Amino acid sequence: MEDLSLSTLIWLRMARFVQNSNQLSNEHLRRFGLTVAQFEALAHIRNFEPITQSELAEGLTVSGGGISRMLARLESEGLISREQDWKTKHISLTAKGRELLERAFPSQQRQQASLFDDSLSEDEKVQLHALMKKLYDTSRKRGENPQE
């Protein structure tokens, strides 16, 4: 195996961190009967409701088929409602979905924050936040202009 550049090592470490963080979150959210993907969908719906299925898929960067299956499950569990308005489905949280998210959100937020609070100083967190924002902004620009 050839020597990897520092940039490649950083990317690999970030990917592994996200994967590990998602695994820990899935274990944590299991007590609420949710996966990370379902939690993120419910939180996104809460923030933008009523939201269309295509807007939700775009916001979560999930395929149309993947979002349809997830929404069918969330709807069958009574966590969301979908209302058809001609060709467009509008999605909102039900009272049950809102109550579940109100219980799960603070717990999940504490669990995720602890990953940073337990290992980074305040200065390191500020620096990491600025660096991650810079990387995110660059990646968004590349997504808007893929030929660059």
- Residue 57 has a pLDDT of 87
Percent of the chain surpassing pLDDT 90:
73
> Does residue 122 belong to any structural domain of this protein?
no
Say which CATH number the domain at 91 has.
1.10.10.10
Domain-located, residue 131? no
Task: Provide mean pLDDT across the span 2-12.
Answer: 91
User: Residues 34-64: pLDDT tens digits?
Assistant: 999 999 999 999 999 999 988 998 888 777 7
Q: Given a cut of 90, is residue 33 above it in pLDDT? A: yes
Return the pLDDT at 147.
65
How many of the other CB atoms lie within 10 Å of CB of 55?
16
pLDDT at 143 over 80: no
Angle ∠(88,91,97) on CA atoms, nearest 5? 165
Mean pLDDT of the chain: 91
- Per-residue pLDDT tens for 69-95? 889 999 999 999 998 888 888 999 999
In a domain, 137, yes or no: no
Give the DSSP H or E segment for 17.
Answer: helix 6-29
Is residue 139, in this structure, part of any structural domain at all? no
Q: Is the pLDDT of residue 148 over 60?
A: no
d(CA 59, CA 24): 23
Q: Is residue 134 part of a domain?
A: no
Structural domain contains residue 101 = yes
Within-domain flag for 15: yes
Q: Is residue 148 in some structural domain?
A: no
| Total domains in the fold of the chain | 1
| Range(s) of the domain holding residue 96 | 6-117
Residue 145 has pLDDT above 80, yes or no: no
Burial class (CB in 10 A: 0-12, 13-18, 19+), 7: exposed
Average pLDDT over residues 99-107: 96
User: What's the number of CA atoms in the CB half-sphere (13 Å) around residue 56?
Assistant: 33
Distance of CA 52 to the CA centre of its chain: 17
Q: How far is CA 142 from the centre of its chain?
A: 21
Whole-number pLDDT of residue 14:
95
